[in-house]
């Protein structure tokens, strides 16, 4: 019995000491932190939300890999009336995952985030980043109200690691005096297109184009196309031939020069004939006059 009473007394004393220690801590906290917080208010017109700045991925960019970095920072709310502000929480949400991801709980003035996504599926994607800022408005010397203010931003990008499909139509019935048409089709938007004639150095073109006149012979052409993500697509090699134009003799009736020459000769001959005829008429009149004079 005596042992039980002694044990109870020890526990009682320990409890009293514990209460005294806790009470002392509360008193110290009250003395060290005499401020009071009287509730939440909405942000005023001179308080602006956190600013989210994304450096990667660039909005509307295209990647030819399924590993995409996410680098961004969040600046605390700016306010002329608040005594202090910070970034309270940050989350991001991507369209290929179901749930948003929380990357910050607790106040920071200007947090930075360097993240990386792996196995991003091919296609068009969006990322939504949301930030919650908080701060204090001073009421009296030791009294404050707190506020929360939110912001969000959305960016888009595309993952494309498939090479474009390129088709080329072989030139047909080409002569050595005609430019060679180059007709090519691509199944997606591209940043650059070039062709190689007979395995020579690539020539960059804007799209469907022509090759200047070629001498007669056998040729082949291959097209190379880079899409917006930098993937390279190659067409099949198209073979074609260039034929020499046969030289045909032109007849007199078909030759413009000969026709003009013949016309001039005809006119000249007619003129000469008229002059000769006129000359003969004059000669006959002169003979008649001489004969008449002799008779008389």
Sheet with 180-186: strands ordered across: 166-169, 180-186, 209-211
pLDDT at 264 > cutoff 90? no
292: enclosing H helix or E strand: helix 256-295
177 lies in the same domain as 130: no
CATH number at residue 170: 2.60.40.10
pLDDT at 58: 95
> Which has more pLDDT, 266 or 76?
76
**Sign for the pseudo-dihedral over CA of 53, 59, 62, 66:** positive
The torsion of the CA quartet 132, 138, 139, 140, rounded to 10 degrees, works out to: 150
154 lies in the same domain as 68: yes
146 lies in the same domain as 171: no
How many domains are there within the chain? 2
pLDDT at 257 > cutoff 90? no
56 lies in the same domain as 154: yes
Strand partners, 13: none
150 lies in the same domain as 170: no
Q: Which domain holds residue 130?
A: 32-159
211 lies in the same domain as 118: no
- Over residues 80-104, the mean pLDDT reads 96
User: Per residue in 191-245, pLDDT tens?
Assistant: 999 999 999 999 999 888 888 778 888 889 999 999 999 999 999 998 888 887 6
The model carries a pTM of 0.65
Mean pLDDT lowest among 79-93, 123-137, 189-203, 248-262: 248-262
User: Per residue in 112-169, pLDDT tens?
Assistant: 999 999 999 999 999 999 999 999 999 887 889 999 999 999 999 999 999 999 998 8
pLDDT at 24: 44
pLDDT at 65: 94
Joined together, the tokens standing for residue 122 give 């091919």
pLDDT at 17 > cutoff 60? no
> Which has more pLDDT, 130 or 252?
130
Burial of residue 196, with CB atoms counted within 10 A of its CB: 0-12 exposed, 13-18 middle, 19 or more buried: middle
DSSP letter for 250, please: P
Q: What DSSP assignment string belongs to 187-216? A: SS-EEEEEEEETT---EEESSSEEE----S
CB 164 within 8 A of CB 233: yes
> Which has more pLDDT, 54 or 264?
54
Distance CA 195, CA 221 (A): 7
Distance CA 202, CA 37 (A): 73
Distance CA 296, CA 289 (A): 11
95 lies in the same domain as 181: no
At which residue do the structure tokens 């991801």 appear? Answer: 101
Distance CA 296, CA 292 (A): 7
Mean pLDDT lowest among 7-16, 213-222, 268-277: 7-16
73 lies in the same domain as 102: yes
- Over residues 28-35, the mean pLDDT reads 55
- Over residues 39-56, the mean pLDDT reads 96
User: Per residue in 165-199, pLDDT tens?
Assistant: 999 887 766 666 678 888 889 999 999 999 999 99
């Amino acid at each position: 019995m005596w042992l039980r009473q002694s044990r109870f007394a020890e526990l009682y004393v320990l409890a009293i000491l514990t209460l005294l220690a806790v009470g002392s801590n509360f008193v110290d906290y009250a003395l060290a932190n005499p401020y009071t917080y009287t509730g939440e208010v909405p942000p005023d017109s001179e308080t602006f939300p956190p600013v989210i700045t994304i450096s990667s991925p660039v909005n509307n960019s295209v990647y030819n890999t399924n590993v995409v970095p996410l680098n961004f920072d969040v600046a605390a709310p700016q306010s002329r009336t608040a005594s202090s502000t910070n970034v309270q929480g940050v989350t991001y949400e991507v369209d290929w995952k179901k749930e948003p991801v929380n990357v910050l709980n607790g106040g920071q003035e200007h947090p930075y985030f360097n993240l990386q996504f792996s196995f991003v599926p091919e296609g068009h994607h969006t990322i939504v980043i949301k930030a919650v800022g908080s701060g204090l408005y001073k009421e009296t010397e030791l009294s404050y109200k707190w506020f929360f203010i939110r912001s969000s931003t959305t960016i888009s990008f595309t993952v494309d690691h498939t090479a474009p499909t390129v088709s080329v139509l072989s030139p047909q019935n080409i002569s050595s005096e005609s430019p060679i048409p180059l007709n090519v089709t691509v199944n997606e938007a591209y940043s650059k297109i070039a062709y190689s004639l007979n395995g020579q150095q690539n020539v960059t073109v804007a799209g469907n184009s022509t090759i200047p006149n070629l001498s007669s012979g056998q040729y082949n052409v291959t097209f190379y196309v880079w899409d917006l993500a930098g993937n390279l697509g190659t067409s099949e090699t198209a073979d074609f031939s260039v034929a020499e134009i046969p030289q045909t003799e032109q007849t007199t009736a078909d030759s413009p020069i000969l026709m003009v020459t013949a016309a001039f000769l005809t006119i000249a001959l007619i003129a000469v004939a008229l002059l000769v005829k006129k000359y003969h008429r004059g000669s006959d009149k002169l003979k008649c006059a001489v004969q008449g004079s002799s008779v008389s």
